[in-house]
Chains A and B, each alone.
Chain A
Amino acid sequence: MKSTVQEILTHYPNAGHDSLIPILQQVQEKLGFLSEEAVVEVGKYLKMPASKIFGVATFYNQFRFTQPGKYHVQLCRGTACHVLGSATVLEEMEKQLKVKSGQTTRDKLFSLEVVACIGACGLAPVISINGEFHAKVTSDSIKSILDEYRNREVQS
């Protein structure tokens, strides 16, 4: 059985260092994040030290290194959202989820990511949970939004 990473690598015969980022992007798409094992495997294939790949990957905001939760929260910190108070929203979100940005809750239900702008400035402050947008979020409304997802879990 080929691992997911091996499967991806078959699409890159004779790949050089310039294929690193596309490979990492595909790995993240399949696994949801860049696991240590995946990075080591890619490194062996491209003959690159894991530290180098980690260095490149941490340079870009798009790569994550922890498994995302079932519900991935993207919290916009773009200009419009900032003006309308996304800093307090983030603070409250971190408090509610008990994780920092880039981390996943212990029950693996939620993961939190801060993004620069998701192009929905009219809805500011905006968050997106698994692609579902929630507009004009306030620190008071966060709990009910999160509960909505928690309830889905209980029902299913």
Chain B
Amino acid sequence: MNLTIEVNNNKIQANPGETILDVLNRHGMSVPTLCHMKGLFPTGSCRMCVVEVEGRRNLVTACSEPVTQGMKIKTHSSRVIESRKTIVELLLSNHPDDCLYCERNGNCELQKLSEDLNVRERRISGNKNNYKLDVSSASLVRDPAKCILCGRCVRVCEEIEGVSAIEFVGRGSKTFIDTSFNHGLNLSTCVNCGQCIMVCPTGALKEKPHISEIKNNLSDPTKTVIVQYAPSISVSLAEEFGFQPGVNIIGLMNAALRRIGFNFVFDTSFSADLTIMEEASELVHRVTNGGVLPMITSCCPGWVKYAEEFSHDMLPHLSTCKSPQQMMGAIIKSYFAEAEGIAPENIYSVSVMPCTAKKFEQQREEMTQNGISDVDAVLTTRELARLIRLYGIDINKLEPELADSPLGTRSSAGKLFGSSGGVMEAAIRTAHYFVTGKEMVKFQVKGVRGLQGRKEATVLMGDLEVGVAVVSGLKNAEELLQEIREGRSNIHFIEVMACPGGCINGGGQPIGADENAIRARMMTLYDIDEKDAIKVSHKNPYIVELYDKFLGKPLGHKSHHLLHTHYQKREIF
């Protein structure tokens, strides 16, 4: 701290190299931003964050201007406010005014900016945007008409995920965001992670809705409608109903799902335990039999599609295990259907996921048995909140309930799947037991916890030294894979999650959560693990029962048939 600057006549301290915006935010002052993305290089293109700097003729963008000694800044002079207001008015001039019909009504940055800047009349009117909806993707819907060209989706796709499925196309007033050769998302390299939705300020990007199909099946008396929810849902859904970030409302959620009319409520953390049984066995098998190493997790459908497109040389490294969602789906329509005497075709299986890529995974043709899909529909966390409201359920007035047996009982290892590093930690616990026959003395693996993009650790399993790495954000994954290609050999097991921080920050989660909220969700998962009695997947009594009664043994014939899959190289365009 060796710079002093003056902001609105108050002297504050700043560090050399900081931008004006950094300093303002650190001191609790705010200027509106649109194109700015924390952690990425500023572009200064939207001009929303302009401030007045004494001695400078033009307004400067706070996001990209470094502070200098003695700088005198006005953040809310009338010139600045007028200028910001004009920008919003210009953005509104070609924006379709259909807020009432918009997904993001009430949760839209453009709406908030025009409210905050007191835009109260249609001062500038232009031709309204008229672009076709892109509904081609199984996961996402793009509406370029609502796009204000802030470019955040383009940047997250390129700089965080390393995918670059979308880009600015055209020039000047005819610029819009599209895929290469205007093909639509399904033919692009899009991995369906949905991080673009999370950064979109308007309703230009959203998930492909599955609500009405689910509604129809809920009212069909011939159908048994079963729901499963991912480990991270119970710690993020709360935010949609005004609770603090990180509050675990699993009991209320179970109750709400039953009120909606789901016949059975299951917890995907159960099948996360099942995934661990298979995946840890596969790891031990590969290590002891000289199989392809490092083994890479396959729970994240965004990562799986990325690998099929960009890193197909790495496909033999991927675990053949299906994801927990698909394992649960397969078990529901086999083991559970058999036990309850329900025909698999009369089961409508819904999953609630923090993820848009799960909607793509659910419709993959590998994910079927005898032509019947393992899972029939996928709701994001946001859609579940909408469904709860749609059915008029006041979540505050419910009494907590338990999930159904037997597929609703989990170990806390399965619950950890929600956070980056969780799959790794759960797998290490069980692999340690498989290798040594003993439980770990201390279950927590500190080295793989936290929100960092890459984490590495070395774990001892008896005499066996296992190098593990955890990456989230596909750009980070690609960097690690490059090291592996170049001959790095001290890593034996890699967990990859497409979304930074893992599923707690997935593309289907509530919009507008900041890093603190993501951290709160993560801490809740760790807290659950701390307090739970069963901390390892192989001690989940219903998992043991499932193997005894139905599956036989991990990697056995039935497991292979129901719980494992294969991957294919995809050509990229």
Complex: how many Å from CA A125 to CA B166?
Answer: 39
Are the C-beta atoms of A49 and B170 separated by less than 8 Å? no
Top 7 nearest A-B pairs (CB, nearest first) are A49-B164, A55-B167, A51-B180, A50-B180, A51-B167, A54-B180, A59-B171
User: B181 on the interface (CB 8 Å rule)?
Assistant: yes
Are the C-beta atoms of B171 and A51 separated by less than 8 Å? no
Are the C-beta atoms of B573 and A40 separated by less than 8 Å? yes
Nearest chain B residue, comparing its CB with the CB of A37: B573
Complex: how many Å from CA A36 to CA B158?
Answer: 21
> 20 A-B residue contacts at CB 8 Å?
A36-B180, A36-B573, A39-B180, A39-B181, A40-B573, A49-B158, A49-B163, A49-B167, A49-B189, A51-B166, A51-B180, A51-B189, A52-B167, A54-B169, A54-B180, A54-B181, A55-B167, A55-B168, A59-B171, A60-B171
Interface, chain B (partner A; CB < 8 A):
158, 163-171, 179-181, 188-189, 572-573
Interface, chain A (partner B; CB < 8 A):
36, 39-40, 49-55, 58-60, 65
Please indicate the chain B residues that have their CB under 8 angstroms from the CB of A60 in the complex.
171
Interface of A is mostly: helix
Please indicate the chain A residues that have their CB under 8 angstroms from the CB of B572 in the complex.
40, 50
Please indicate the chain A residues that have their CB under 8 angstroms from the CB of B189 in the complex.
49-51
Indicate whether A51 sits within 8 Å of B170 (C-beta atoms), given known contacts A36-B181, A36-B573, A40-B573. Answer: no
Please indicate the chain A residues that have their CB under 8 angstroms from the CB of B168 in the complex.
55
Known: A50-B573, A54-B180. 13 other contacts (CB 8 A): A36-B180, A36-B573, A39-B180, A49-B163, A49-B165, A50-B180, A50-B181, A50-B189, A52-B164, A53-B180, A54-B167, A58-B169, A58-B171
Please indicate the chain A residues that have their CB under 8 angstroms from the CB of B165 in the complex.
49, 51
Please indicate the chain B residues that have their CB under 8 angstroms from the CB of A49 in the complex.
158, 163-165, 167, 180, 189
Complex: how many Å from CA A60 to CA B170?
Answer: 8
Complex: how many Å from CA A85 to CA B166?
Answer: 39
Please indicate the chain A residues that have their CB under 8 angstroms from the CB of B179 in the complex.
51
The answer, among A39, A51, A58, A59, for a CB contact under 8 Å with B164, is A51
Complex: how many Å from CA A36 to CA B166?
Answer: 16
Most A CB contacts (10 A, CB to CB) among B158, B163, B181 go to B181
Nearest chain B residue, comparing its CB with the CB of A60: B171
A51 to chain B, nearest CB (A): 4
Nearest chain B residue, comparing its CB with the CB of A40: B573
Please indicate the chain B residues that have their CB under 8 angstroms from the CB of A40 in the complex.
572-573
A32 to chain B, nearest CB (A): 17
A100 to chain B, nearest CB (A): 14
Nearest chain A residue, comparing its CB with the CB of B162: A49
Complex: how many Å from CA A40 to CA B180?
Answer: 10
Please indicate the chain B residues that have their CB under 8 angstroms from the CB of A51 in the complex.
164-167, 179-180, 188-189
Most A CB contacts (10 A, CB to CB) among B171, B180, B572 go to B180
A49 to chain B, nearest CB (A): 4
Please indicate the chain B residues that have their CB under 8 angstroms from the CB of A58 in the complex.
169-171
Please indicate the chain A residues that have their CB under 8 angstroms from the CB of B573 in the complex.
36, 40, 50
Complex: how many Å from CA A36 to CA B183?
Answer: 11
Nearest chain A residue, comparing its CB with the CB of B181: A36
B290 to chain A, nearest CB (A): 33
A84 to chain B, nearest CB (A): 25
Nearest chain B residue, comparing its CB with the CB of A44: B572
Complex: how many Å from CA A55 to CA B163?
Answer: 15
B552 to chain A, nearest CB (A): 45
B475 to chain A, nearest CB (A): 13
B158 to chain A, nearest CB (A): 8
Nearest chain A residue, comparing its CB with the CB of B177: A55
Nearest chain B residue, comparing its CB with the CB of A35: B181
Complex: how many Å from CA A51 to CA B171?
Answer: 15
A38 to chain B, nearest CB (A): 11
